[in-house]
Structure 1
Amino acid sequence: MTYYIADSAVFIMGNCDLDSSLIITVPSVAEELKSGDASLRFDLAKEGGLRVEWPDPEMVKEVRKMAELTRDSEELSKTDLEILAKALEYRDKGLLLTDDYAVQNVAVQLGIQVKPIAQKKIKDIIIWQKQCIGCKKTFDKGDVCPICGSPLKKKRKKSRKEKSYF
């Protein structure tokens, strides 16, 4: 049996025709639903058996570690971390439903299967770095160059095709 770990996009987009009893999400997803339609879809899914579970704190730590390695940590919200942690718990029998590219990037690095809702799936796994727009030096993190004081912008450090991560 496959479980579907759902991020907010499942309820926002509303084009997911799955058995609600096979869908699992985290409590913070409900907090992200701003429209009445998205909230209604969430409530209907709950009535149909949607499971709302807290993520395992150890899994959250593992996700944070991977997000630091890929340099996606600045892009991930608390909800993103929690949904990734829940997907990691169900890695062997689950499929993460998300349109978020940073979430997908971290997920595939963790060996989590991903299916987008409305966007395209990522093709490459990306490791990010920061590059100074002034002196062109590169850094792993930060917003301001410690050498010349110019802003740092995000840049691909390396990437590889998504299928090669196993």
Structure 2
Amino acid sequence: MVYFIADSAVFIMGKDIDPVSIITVSSVVGELRSSEASLRFELALEGGAKVEMPDPVVRRRVLEVAESTRDVEELSATDIDILSKALEYGNDAVLLSDDYAVQNVAQVLGIMVKPVVQKEIRDVLQWQKECTGCRRRFDTGDICQVCGSTLRKRRKRKI
């Protein structure tokens, strides 16, 4: 059986999936702002969707990969949990998410991803920071250590 690991976008946008095959994490509820999205979530639960906690060991692996691609700053705790749950289910899982940072990390982890509404990413990227003042490049931070200007995210390379 194929399991669909559902990010909050599934409930926000109303993706039509058999609830029995849906698995999500509890923190998704906190991302559902509208009453329609909350209702879709409740209906999915009544229809057989499961809410599971991710394995902490698998979660650490996801964080390591997110740090290597430099997507970790863009990912929420829910995103990390969803990625972890999809990695746990391996080849039996399809991760449903419109978040490009989630898709980027999922590709590196070998997780099958399907977008909910947005386009799927074409390339897996690694990111870095560039100073808006002196143009020096850094792996982390928000302020340039040399001139004090702000850093902006830019593509380092395709993986």
Establish whether TM, by shorter chain, passes 0.5. yes
Q: Does 1:132 align with 2:116?
A: no
- Give the letter aligned to residue 60 of structure 2: K
Secondary structure in structure 2 of the residue aligned to 1:91: helix
- Give the letter aligned to residue 11 of structure 2: F
Secondary structure in structure 1 of the residue aligned to 2:71: coil
Counterpart of 2:48? 49
How is 1:93-104 mapped onto 2 (pairs within 5 angstroms)? 93-104=92-103
Counterpart of 1:19? 18
Counterpart of 2:81? 82
Within 2, Cα distance between the matches of 1:59 and 1:83? Answer: 11
Q: Which runs of 5+ in 1 are unaligned?
A: 161-166
Within 2, Cα distance between the matches of 1:32 and 1:105? Answer: 20
Q: Which runs of 5+ in 2 are unaligned?
A: none
TM-score by length of 2: 0.98
* Moved beyond 4 Å, runs of 4+: none
Q: Deviations over 1:23-82 (max 9, x none)?
A: 000000011111100000000000000000000011110111011000001100010010
- Give the letter aligned to residue 126 of structure 1: L
Percent of aligned positions with the same letter in both sequences? 60
Q: Does 1:4 align with 2:20?
A: no
Counterpart of 1:123? 122
Shift of residue 91 of structure 1? 1.8
